[in-house]
Amino acid sequence: MPAPSGSLSDAVTERLREAIITGELAPGAKLSEPELSQRLGIGRGSLREALQRLEGMRLVERRPRVGARVAGLGRRELVELYTVREALESMACRLAADLMSADEIADIRRLLVGDAADLDARMSAASDREGLRDFHFRIVQGSGNHELELMMNDLSHRVRRYRYRSRQIPGHLSRGLRDHHRILDAIEARDGELAEMLMRRHIRAECISVEAAMGDGVQSDGGGA
């Protein structure tokens, strides 16, 4: 782990968050403050602040007499997260079909073209950062519903842990990209009902793919390690 730069606690939080999302820090791994402090070249105070933030994101768990560990991945959490995603993102599609401007739709179309050109790179990238360029996030933004956007932001880090693990499934990214085009076509046609249905199907299929990719690595009870 290279030492982070910039605002120290922010940089440490981001570095550890990405390590957790990509599996560099495995589910259930113990987070030793002395070891991490030495590896990152930072003081214990900044590290504790970062761990507290990650605990708030539910990426880190603290247990009596055990200390801080990377939160586990669980089948129940997977299904529950994707059930919430399905409800919120399908609603976002329906709202976006009414509210999203032609310029916003064209911008997302350019994003999808770029994703297609960058498919191989996304398969081999060490991290798939899903910020402002992410299709799903842009649709939620296009819904015009601020509360919906806040709820999706709260879920985003845990969702990314599961999404990341499906990237190595042959054909997964290309199938997802085709789904994205169909959803955007429905939004552009102002067919909110169709866009909502297509997003529901897309997220259900992704949940099945993620669960298959995790295999025995997903705990049956959805709890921590």
Kindly write down the DSSP assignment for every residue of 37-96, as one continuous string: HHHHT--HHHHHHHHHHHHHTTSEEEETTTEEEEPP-BHHHHHHHHHHHHHHHHHHHHHH
Q: Which residue has the tokens 């990152």?
A: 40
As averages over each run of 10 residues, the pLDDT of the chain (225 residues) reads 61 94 93 92 90 96 90 95 97 98 95 71 47 79 96 93 78 86 98 98 93 67 42
Residue 119 confidence (pLDDT): 55
Are the C-beta atoms of residues 5 and 11 closer than 8 Å to each other? yes
Residue 109 confidence (pLDDT): 93
Name the 3-class secondary structure at 30. strand
Residue 173 confidence (pLDDT): 79
- Cα angle: 209, vertex 214, 220; to 5 degrees: 110
Tell which residue, 50, 22, 16, has the closest CA to residue 161: 22
Tell which residue, 198, 181, 101, 173, has the closest CA to residue 143: 101
Tell which residue, 44, 40, 159, 147, has the closest CA to residue 91: 147
Q: Which residue has the tokens 């819904």?
A: 143
Residue 216 confidence (pLDDT): 59
Residue 53 confidence (pLDDT): 95
H/E stretch holding 7 reads none
Are the C-beta atoms of residues 140 and 63 closer than 8 Å to each other? no
Residue 220 confidence (pLDDT): 43
Residue 223 confidence (pLDDT): 45
- Burial of 139 (C-beta count, 10 Å sphere; 0-12/13-18/19+): buried
What is the reported pTM?
Answer: 0.83
Determine the Cα–Cα distance for residues 168 and 200; give it in Å rounded to an integer: 22
Are the C-beta atoms of residues 58 and 65 closer than 8 Å to each other? no
Q: E strands, the chain, where?
A: 60-63, 67-70
> DSSP class of residue 3?
P
